[in-house]
Amino acid sequence: MAFADKTARSLTGGRFFYGWIIVLITFMTSMITAGITGYGLSFFVLPMSTDLGITRTEFSSVSLFRLVLMPVVPLLGILVDKKHGPRILLSVGGVIAGVTLIATATVQTLWQFYVIYGIVFGLAMLAMGGMLVGPAIISKWFIQRRGRAMAIGTMGISTGGVVIAPLAGWAISEYGWRTAWVILGIVVIFAITPISGLFMRRSPEDMDMYPDGESSNVESAGNMGANSEFPWTVRQASKTSAFWLILGSQTLGFAALSPTLFHQVAYMQDKGLGLGAAASIATLVALCAVISKLPWGLLTERIQVRWVLSLCTITAGLSLMIVVVSQDLAMFYVYAVLYGLMMGGYPTIMNVVWPTYFGRQNAGTIRGFVTPVSTIVGTVTPVFAGLMWDRLGSYDLAFTVFAISWVLAGIIMLVASQPKPPTSS
């Protein structure tokens, strides 16, 4: 730890704010994990279902096995708020994730896929926490510039669709799905573990700094300056209506986000597109999502974040309906651009909402408390989509439900006004 601390301090030399290194680490971990579990996994649906002799519902059900891990999430959230917790979670999680992906290449039966990828890899993903560790840590390092910092960090999510997902698609087409898993496993180990072990830090105070690189900071219940926030506890936050409204909006958003990324390639192939065309459209969705994140993040610094989130989710729902009615290539590209631009802002804005409402000091603990609910729904809805395809031979109904879910998420946020800090715990 001492060597790593010395290396981290010497890296900046006072020339720039160390928080941007935290943003870079979050970007990298988000790119790898989202590229594999979100955008990239859709490329494995057809080849693995065919080779293993399973249905799409059975393949999609792999996400359900992560539900057994939900009791662990609050504990991980608490660990995020400990001094060396984030560094341990990311570096160890990277090794476990990489080894597990390599092991996924050896599966011969459905239950092996469920155990290796669903449970063990799922645990590693929780440890690296795309919606847990990275956002919680960025919220500790930034207050005034939180929107742009969170935007850059979450760009990694969509960049995964531009970089990692095409890598998966290429590897599958050239070498088969088993070799593709091996390649992705090696990428995870070497792209995440070294930088996390050396440079991840919990908060600016751990390096004698203040949020946003300011020279001083006052943060207490009695003296709240422009660069300060009330340190809400989980208990205090959960007593407010805003807490539950935000949780409801987040849950509805992830209910729609996860399955559309999971099934969109197969959906477009069902509508007559070849794998190459479907892959190019999925990549365009991700690229547009990357482009949109910084504007959305900057918008949260200028307008009340609940209005920004409502605008984002309602328009995402409306644009998702385009893929349902699309019948020609041109309309699929319209879907890719509009849905990518709208949906792309969601992770950024959602990650700004929680610390804006409830502060940064206990960000990890609060996120650990709320993440299981969204995760459970996000694991069930891909199975729902697969089940609808198996029963109806089409994704139309499922994607319509997801579009409605996006819109409802935005409507809920319209009434989630920011609560006043409590006078006592």
Q: What is the DSSP letter of 416?
A: -
How much is the pLDDT for 52? 92
Nearest Cα neighbor of 60 from 267, 234, 217 is 267
Question: Is residue 217 included in any domain, yes or no?
Answer: no
pLDDT the model gives residue 216: 58
Indicate the pLDDT class of residue 313, thresholds 50, 70 and 90. very high
Q: Is residue 6 over pLDDT 70?
A: no
Looking at residue 346, its pLDDT comes to 92
Residue whose structure tokens are 């958003």: 253
Higher pLDDT pick, 135 / 423: 135
Of the pLDDT bands very low, low, confident and very high (cuts 50, 70, 90), residue 217 is low
Encode pLDDT of 125-182 as tens digits: 877 766 678 788 888 899 888 999 989 988 888 788 778 888 898 999 899 999 999 9
Please indicate, yes or no, if residue 370 is contained in any of the structural domains: yes
Compute the distance between CA of residue 225 and CA of residue 228 in angstroms, rounded to an integer.
5
**126 belongs to a structural domain:** yes
Lowest mean pLDDT across 26-30, 33-37, 245-249: 33-37
Task: State the pLDDT at residue 178.
Answer: 96
Look at residue 402 in the predicted model and tell me its pLDDT: 96
Dump pLDDT digits (tens) for 290-307. 899 999 999 999 999 999
Whether residue 227 has pLDDT greater than 60? no
pLDDT score recorded for residue 226: 44
Question: Residue 302: exposed, middle, or buried by beta-carbon count in 10 A (0-12, 13-18, 19+)?
Answer: exposed
Q: How confident is the model at residue 14 (pLDDT cuts 50, 70, 90)?
A: low
Residue 112 is given by DSSP the state: H
In a domain, 234, yes or no: yes
Reported in sequence order, the residue ranges of 75-230 that DSSP labels E, i.e. its strands, are 219-220, 223-224
- The total domain count for the chain is 1
Residue 327 — very low, low, confident or very high, per pLDDT cuts 50/70/90? confident
Residue 220 in this model has a pLDDT that exceeds 60 = no
Helix axes 345-358, 133-141, angle to 10 degrees: 60
pLDDT above 90 coverage of the chain, percent: 41
Q: What is the mean pLDDT of the chain?
A: 86
Is there a contact between 323 and 335 (Cβ–Cβ < 8 Å)?
yes
Determine the Cα angle at 111 with ends 110 and 112, to 5°.
Answer: 90
Give the residue numbers spanning the domain of 148. 15-203+229-413
Give the pLDDT confidence of 349-407 residue by residue, as tens digits: 998 999 999 988 888 888 888 888 887 888 788 888 988 888 888 899 999 999 999 99
Q: What tens digit of pLDDT does each residue of 38-93 get?
A: 778 878 988 999 999 988 788 878 877 877 878 888 888 888 888 888 899 999 99
pLDDT of 13 higher than 60 = no
- 362 touches 238 (CB < 8 A): no
The domain spanning residue 354 has which CATH number? 1.20.1250.20
The answer to whether 73 touches 370, Cβ cutoff 8 Å, is no
Q: What is the pLDDT of residue 4?
A: 55
420 found inside a domain: no
Q: Go through the chain and tell me how many residues it has.
A: 425
Residue 122 pLDDT level (bands cut at 50, 70, 90): confident
Q: Judge whether residue 230 has pLDDT over 80.
A: yes
CB 342 within 8 A of CB 319: yes
Q: Is 304 left (phi over 0), alpha (psi -120 to 50) or beta?
A: beta
Residue 123 lies in a domain: yes
Q: Regarding predicted confidence, which is higher, 165 or 24?
A: 24
What pLDDT is recorded for position 231?
84
C-alpha 289/C-alpha 174 separation (Å) is 27
Dihedral angle of Cα 166, 171, 173, 178, to the nearest 10 degrees? -130
Is 290 part of any domain?
yes
The neighbouring-strand residues paired with 223 are 220
Amino acid 221: pLDDT: 41
With respect to residue 10, please indicate whether it lies within any of the assigned structural domains: no
Residue 315 reports pLDDT greater than 70: yes
- Grouping H, G, I as helix, E, B as strand and the rest as coil, residue 223 is strand
Please say if the pLDDT value at position 124 is more than 70.
yes
Of 424 and 283, the structure prediction assigns the larger pLDDT to: 283
Q: Is the pLDDT of residue 314 over 80?
A: yes
CA distance from start to end of the chain: 35
Total-model pTM: 0.77
